[in-house]
Amino acid sequence: MKRRRRTGISRKGRFKEQPATQEVQEVDAFGQINYNAAGLDIGDAEIYAAVPEGRDNDCVRVFKTFTEDLHLLADWLQHCCVTTVAMESTGIYWLPIYEILEARGFEVYLVNARHIKNVSGKKTDIEDCQWIQQLHTYGLLSTSFRPPEEICALRSLVRHRANLITMCSTQVQHMQKALQLMNLKLTNVISDITGLTGMRIIRDIVRGQRDAHQLAAHRDERCAKSEKEIRKSLEGNYKPEHVFALKQALQAYDFYQQQISDCDVEIEKFYQTIEPQIDIKAHPLPESQRKRRRPKGNEPCFNLRQHLYQLSGVDLTQIEGVNVLNAQAILSEIGTDMSKWPSVKHFTSWLGLCPNNQITGGKVMQRQTQKNNNRAARALRLAAQGISTSKGALGGYYRRQRARLGPAQAITAIAHKLARIIYAMLRNRTPYCEPPSGYYEEQARQRAVKNLERKAKQLGFHLIAQTA
């Protein structure tokens, strides 16, 4: 027997009256909002600009991307009485014209390309700039977030430093490959070949030393493996071509390490030029919960934690799992002014750490987070990975979410919670107050009890707690 498919039409052909289950929004007719709007379609060699009709003989003009032509474009827009300009984000080609127009007093909108996708049909550069100008005239475009100029300069330095670290790690992989080709199993007895023991041995190999006993004598006293085990791992086939590759990788590694040190000096100089948000004498830096004698990993040698505290007015490293490099990456991407986002929900949505619900027919068809390349979200996920073995409240929350959702979604859930904490700290300028251990588990228990009481009341029962 076939089941009749449920539709909104009765058997008599009449529509059933069904109330709307979702909130009804008022839809206003389109009206021109930005009368003095212009649209730019930016490429590597040419820029197509469209202005409202009647402002000049030609409402669309094309300009070259040389600096002189960019200033001519700004002069033409001022001649056409344009006050606001919308441009499509195309690689990094938009950056010079953005800075020039902003310095000339224009209100510049940097728009996501997905938000201005044209209708199907023929696509030309002239049609694109006119379409952008038309959408901007009716106020249908929203600008992308861009932090203040000083934060943008800091962001460029921090991103450059991250690229240097990536290139340096590539040379470490090349050194490991050269050692494996010579059957030197140094990675089996040393956890990090860039440590004291590993670098001493590699530099001695490059100088021409082949005696395993003398190479193993470079073992540091803190090394877990014995000198005998290290000596066995250094008995291999020292072919000249592999030793040469090891030498080149070592030289490149030293070069990038020097580049990273120079970048740290430049970043420290830049921090000294930024006006501090807090007086370090009146409000001293809180004591760190992580006490180390020297920087760990790729951390800079200067007091980065104090500079970040003066920049933001709060100490983000007090949050469980957030180190100085995570805090620097987050602040360099989002800045310190949280008024750009009306609420914490807008902030987590911009980061791409909240569910992207796709609802149709009253049913949620998709819940996954929206994919993006947000560097601040990436730093929050890295911080969340360090909470997995923590004994604090966030560590217990992560383990409960991992058992319920899986490791990947649990990392996203922890990153979302860290984003909410950082938003509250920067918005209210309040220090981080760590919740007691088991805090989130107790909240989950209270929610479960309320749900049980509600269900029991619906079924006509009364829930009584069991006494000890």
pLDDT of residue 7: 44
pLDDT (average), residues 241-252: 96
pLDDT of residue 468: 59
Share of the chain above pLDDT 70, in %: 91
pLDDT (average), residues 376-386: 93
Q: Is the pLDDT of residue 6 over 80?
A: no
pLDDT of residue 454: 93
Confidence of residue 466 (pLDDT cuts 50, 70, 90): confident
Confidence of residue 291 (pLDDT cuts 50, 70, 90): low
Question: Is the dihedral angle over the CA atoms 252, 323, 301, 161 positive or is it negative?
Answer: positive
Q: Which sequence spans correspond to the domains of the chain?
A: 37-137, 151-273, 304-437, 442-468
Distance from C-alpha of 183 to C-alpha of 186, rounded to nearest angstrom: 9
Contacts of 94 (CB under 8 A, 6+ apart): 42, 87, 88, 110
Q: What are phi and psi of 460, to 5 degrees?
A: 85, 20
Distance from C-alpha of 327 to C-alpha of 309, rounded to nearest angstrom: 10
Distance from C-alpha of 353 to C-alpha of 182, rounded to nearest angstrom: 45
Distance from C-alpha of 258 to C-alpha of 256, rounded to nearest angstrom: 5
Distance from C-alpha of 169 to C-alpha of 166, rounded to nearest angstrom: 5
| DSSP-derived 3-state class of residue 108 | strand
Which pTM does this prediction carry?
Answer: 0.84
Q: Is the pLDDT of residue 240 over 90?
A: yes
pLDDT of residue 12: 46
> Which of 111, 108, 88 minimizes the C-alpha distance to 99?
108
| Structure-token match 């980065």, residue found | 304
Using alpha carbons, list the distances in angstroms from residue 313 to 146, 166, 192, 263, 414: 21, 30, 36, 24, 24
Q: Is the pLDDT of residue 265 over 90?
A: yes
Q: Which fold has domain 37-137?
A: Nucleotidyltransferase; domain 5 (3.30.420)
pLDDT of residue 23: 65
pLDDT of residue 10: 45
More confident residue, 345 or 360: 345
Contacts of 150 (CB under 8 A, 6+ apart): 274
| DSSP-derived 3-state class of residue 363 | strand
Q: Is the pLDDT of residue 316 over 60?
A: yes
**Cβ atoms < 10 Å from Cβ of 325:** 23
Confidence of residue 21 (pLDDT cuts 50, 70, 90): low
Mean pLDDT (the chain, rounded):
88
Confidence of residue 175 (pLDDT cuts 50, 70, 90): very high
Structure confidence by residue, pLDDT tens digits, 385-430: 988 888 888 998 999 999 999 999 999 999 999 999 999 999 999 9
Confidence of residue 88 (pLDDT cuts 50, 70, 90): confident
